[in-house]
Structure 1
Amino acid sequence: MRLAADAMPTVGALFERYWPVIRNRISPGTARGYASAWRQRVGPSFADVPIDQITTLDVERAFAMWSGKRSTKVDALAVLSQVCQVAIKGRLIPVNPCAGVDLPRMQDDDPAARALDWPEVTRLLDVLPASGPYRRFVLGMLYTGCRLGEVAGLRVSDVDWETRTISVSRTASAGANGELVIGPTKGRRIRLVPLADPFVPVVVEASEKKGPHDWLFPGPRGGVLNSQNLSRALDWKNVRGQVKTFAPGEPPLHWHDLRHTALTLMFRAGLSAPDVQAVAGHSTLQVTQRYADTRRDAARRATEALSSFFAPLGLSDPEGGEAEKRASDLGI
């Protein structure tokens, strides 16, 4: 990057010039989120500011004032950080001002709380078509724990009938202009997911009359499904409330919650945390442990133990009386 000594570029100029470089580092879905974050937050805040004039406090102030959910604000911070990294490589600034930003503390997400229980899984199956490509696609997410784009990217040849596994090596999604983009998985690693007995007939049906390189779970016309056309075909916005509802202020049921469901069920089926991590493709065991539901298991065990302990005391008597006297005798 060659610039005159007095020609320090603005954040907007750097973004416009090097957006192709930034986009090349990330997945198509992430790129769409970053582009939106630039238009709605980063650009209005910093586009006209010379890159060497931005301080960490400026970034923290902008983060506090940006609208939207925390995740969308984090996307905006990531976009700005990428631009600053470009400036560092161009020797325009010595350090990234985004690196020292203190984000507000948030309660950890609980993906297990987003998972469907058995009655909810049954309701999901009831709202789906009785057969056909859309039902097979949704079952693909539910049985494998794959992300939606990963299911869309599966080919017939990815199924290994000898080992009863499916190789997950790519994701298929729509690009910025609606074009099909084939890329690596989020973790950029190939992994294997199980082919459980109930899922076998679904995969057999999906593979019929197809070549090894054909899509395993395409739409009815053979094209790749994405969240938009899948939701539209199933009228998902109107029927998902029949499957599971959440408290006011929480987002409604998402397709990604089927991944949460599958990983939670794997723990309930007895898989170890390292096994679930390998199937899920998580980068760390800490991420996987969030699905283990250990807090609920501990609470259930505590409920049984405390119920047995307190039972002789008769403390459930709403009128007090003898129960109150017995409690007093015990020094409670």
Structure 2
Amino acid sequence: MTAHRDMLPTGGTMSADEKLGTTAERWLTGIEGADRYAAQTKRRYREIVEKYIRPRVGDLHLREVQTGPVGAFLRDVETDHGAATAKLCRTVLVGVLQIAVDHGALQQNPAKAVSIPKTGRREVVSLNPRQAHGLLSSLPPGDVRDALMVMLGTGARIGSVLALRWADVDLEAGTLVLTGTVVRSSAGLERQEHTKTHQTPRYRLPGALVDVLRARWESRGSDDLMFPNARGGLMDPHNFRKTWRTQMKTAGFEWVTPHVARKSVATLLARRLGDEAARDQLGHDSVATTRAHYVESVEDVPDHTDVLGEFLTL
């Protein structure tokens, strides 16, 4: 997530005696009024300000916000909460302090001079087809099993799956369009009318998935949502994940999360059809992102002995 300058309020006057917390609120006002930011992003930025920046450095006057104090603050956050959180705090501070630069209260942005060590890359784990068959046969019929099948058949994120409406599916054509995602805002749980990437991808569905969705429609098609809660409204992702974890543990697949399903799609497509196919299915901008974070590394290197043997044939 990047805090863009062009979305921030400019003009007017600002004093170097203004407190950082006040400037942070100015920045949040600009972010929250911008359409390009998803509700989850806005909520996360405010959480960073309220939970980390305001309590620790919010009372500093802008003239006191120099590279030294900023670096010390970010190192403390890294120690207490990890490099990923520290990196996000830096992103927010860069945006906040740029307002002070734009208004003449600071000559330069001290947060830009502070670097955060890169977070270690987590090992990608995925289900292979044999494991997926075993898992699906071990799960009881219901929401978790059906949602997993949608994820394995499309690569969609869990938030988008829980936001699916029957109007987004054409069972005769065997297609599905992702048109939104479930988010939590200050007003509670709501359906955001666009996906995380603002794309509306149309997927062609495997025949087995069409059969599952048709059976689900015939038994529950009176609902607007494909995966509603007991009252017919949006299912809370937190509650869904809780049920998911219970069923995965019972099935002997405790390590499988909804995101593992997405990585499984990327890994299978990359190995069978190439990285570009995986990138397109997941909707990434670059193959590098897909390869680095979604495709499981191979344990057995392909057999290239016929070629490499040329080195050793005397």
Partner of 1:315: none
Equivalent residues of 2:269, 2:275 under 8 A apart: no
1:54 paired with 2:65, answer: yes
Deviation of residue 64 (structure 1)? 1.7
1:197, CA displacement in angstroms?
Answer: 1.6
For residues 113 and 120 of structure 2, the distance between their equivalents in structure 1, rounded to whole angstroms, comes to 21
Residue of structure 2 aligned with 1:143, choices 150, 153, 157: 153
Q: Is the 8 A contact 1:12 1:43 kept in 2?
A: yes
Deviations 1:257-309 (A, max 9, x none): 221122212223x233333222211122211223445x527x5226x739x97
Query: Shift of residue 199 of structure 1?
Result: 0.9
Secondary structure of the residue that 2:90 maps to in structure 1?
Answer: helix
1:256 and 2:259 matched: yes
- Unmatched runs of 5 consecutive residues or more in structure 2: 1-9
Structure 2 residue identity aligned to 1:14: T
Q: Which aligned pairs between 1:200-219 and structure 2 lie closer than 5 A?
A: 200-208=210-218, 210=221, 214-219=224-229
| Alignment match of 2:206 (pick from 189, 196, 212) | 196
1:242 counterpart residue number: 252
Q: Distance in 1 between matches of 2:118 and 2:232?
A: 45
Residue in structure 2 matched with residue 11 of structure 1 by the alignment: 20
Q: 1:236 to 1:161 in 2, by over 3 A?
A: same
Matched residue, 2:81? 68
Relative to the length of structure 2, the TM-score reads 0.78
Q: Distance in 2 between matches of 1:175 and 1:278?
A: 30
What is the CA deviation profile of residues 24-53 of structure 1, one whole-angstrom value per residue up to 9, with x for unaligned ones?
443233334333333332223320112343
Q: Secondary structure at the match of 2:202?
A: strand
| Contact 1:150–1:168 under 8 Å retained in 2 | yes
Superposition TM-score, scaled by structure 1 size: 0.74
User: In the alignment, which residue of structure 1 is the partner of 2:30?
Assistant: 21
Q: Is the Cα–Cα contact under 8 Å of residues 127 and 239 in structure 1 kept in the other structure?
A: no
Q: Which residue number corresponds to residue 98 of structure 1?
A: 111
SS in 2 for 1:180: strand
Deviation at 1:62, TM superposition (A): 2.0
- Conservation of the 8 A alpha-carbon contact between 1:85 and 1:96: yes
The answer to whether the Cα contact below 8 Å between 1:149 and 1:171 also exists between their aligned partners in 2 is yes
Match of 2:44 in 1: 33
**Aligned-pair CA distance for 1:108:** 3.6
One-letter code aligned to 2:39:
P
Cα separation, partners in 2 of 1:230 and 1:63, compared to 1, 3 Å: same
Q: How much does 1:168 deviate?
A: 1.6
Over the aligned positions, Cα root-mean-square deviation in angstroms equals 3.6
Greater Rg over alpha carbons, structure: 1
Decide whether the 8 Å contact of 2:94 with 2:111 is kept in 1.
Answer: yes
Match of 1:285 among 283, 287, 294: 287
Q: Is the CA contact (8 Å cut-off) linking 2:170 and 2:176 kept in structure 1?
A: yes
Contact 1:152 1:171 in 2 (8 A): yes
Task: Determine the C-alpha separation between the residues in 2 that align with 1:158 and 1:300.
Answer: 41
Aligned length: 298
Retained in 1: the 8 A contact 2:159–2:183? Answer: yes
Q: 2:288 is matched by which residue type in structure 1?
A: Q
Structure 1 Cα separation of the partners of residues 112 and 267 of structure 2: 34
Deviations 1:84-108 (A, max 9, x none): 2444454544544333332214444
Secondary structure of 1:219 counterpart: coil
The Cα of 1:173 is off from its aligned counterpart by 1.8
Aligned to 2:192: 182
Q: Give, in whole Å, the separation in 1 of the partners of 2:99 and 2:231.
A: 43
Determine if the alignment matches structure 1 residue 81 to structure 2 residue 94.
Answer: yes
**Structure 1 pair 119–153 and aligned structure 2 pair: CA distance change class (3 A):** same
Tell me, yes or no, if the aligned pair for 1:133 and 1:219 is still in contact at 8 Å: no
1:265 matches 2:268: yes
Whole-angstrom CA distance in 1 between matches of 2:60 and 2:247: 41
